[in-house]
A and B are shown apart, each in its own frame.
Chain A
Amino acid sequence: NAGVTQTPKFQVLKTGQSMTLQCAQDMNHNSMYWYRQDPGMGLRLIYYSASEGTTDKGEVPNGYNVSRLNKREFSLRLESAAPSQTSVYFCASRQGSMNTEAFFGQGTRLTVV
């Protein structure tokens, strides 16, 4: 029972490099999310996908792009990484109805030097 799987778990990038964070869920959930967690800031929503084929900006979308590849997969791309994007990134999914909780991946610790 994998739940939400994120890859990679750790990554170090140089400023200006690009990379894609992968996320896949096996719970047949409609909605998927990308958050970043920084000390003292809680979890801030970067992008979300309410259902397959749709994506929307969250609180902090600048510098990121996303793709909802299919119902299972939701990727986050950093086109030109900056030190300000050093963070822990979480992918989450949920069924979409009012009272269902979100299930989270294990997180990706990204450092941009």
Chain B
Amino acid sequence: AQKITQTQPGMFVQEKEAVTLDCTYDTSDQSYGLFWYKQPSSGEMIFLIYQGSYDEQNATEGRYSLNFQKARKSANLVISASQLGDSAMYFCAMRGSSGGSNYKLTFGKGTLLTVNP
């Protein structure tokens, strides 16, 4: 079974600073994928970044980067130079590779990020 744990219910960051949102996962699959989504107060789900378990380099997408530590089973999202528009709920999710987990996308409970001016 897959499990995603986000231990920070809420985080605060000053505008223009960097912030790290934690995500740990548990799976017995050797091959898996990790995703981060953003959900602003308007409610839509916005895909941010993807990391494959066999990717040798950490994923980056603009101001978003993923600090992937496979041995620790962690996939933390780093947002650099925070902006007021980054205030949102952030979800970590994973997909496995065996049986039904090949298709299921399992989400964590989320972290609510507030960017202060």
Interface set of A (CB-CB < 8 Å, partner B): 31, 33, 35, 40-45, 48, 50, 56, 58, 88, 90, 92, 94, 96, 98-99, 101-104, 106-107
Contacts and interface: CB of A to CB of B under 8 A. Distances in A.
A33 B105 contact: yes
Given A58-B104, A98-B95, A90 B45 contact: yes
Interface residues of B, number: 26
A15 B103 CA distance: 33
Contacts of A90: 45
B56 to A, nearest CB: 14
A45 B100 CA distance: 12
Interface string B11-36: 00000000000000000000101010
B88 to A, nearest CB: 14
Interface in B84-104: 91, 93, 95, 97, 100, 102-104
B101 to A, nearest CB: 11
Contact of A42 (B35, B52, B104, B110): B110
Interface of B: 4, 6, 9, 31, 33, 35, 43-45, 47, 50, 52, 91, 93, 95, 97, 100, 102-110
Contacts, number: 57
Q: Interface of chain A, helix or strand or loop or mixed?
A: strand
B109 A40 contact: yes
Contact of A102 (B6, B44, B105): B105
A98 B109 contact: no
B49 to A, nearest CB: 9
Contacts of A102: 35, 45, 47, 105
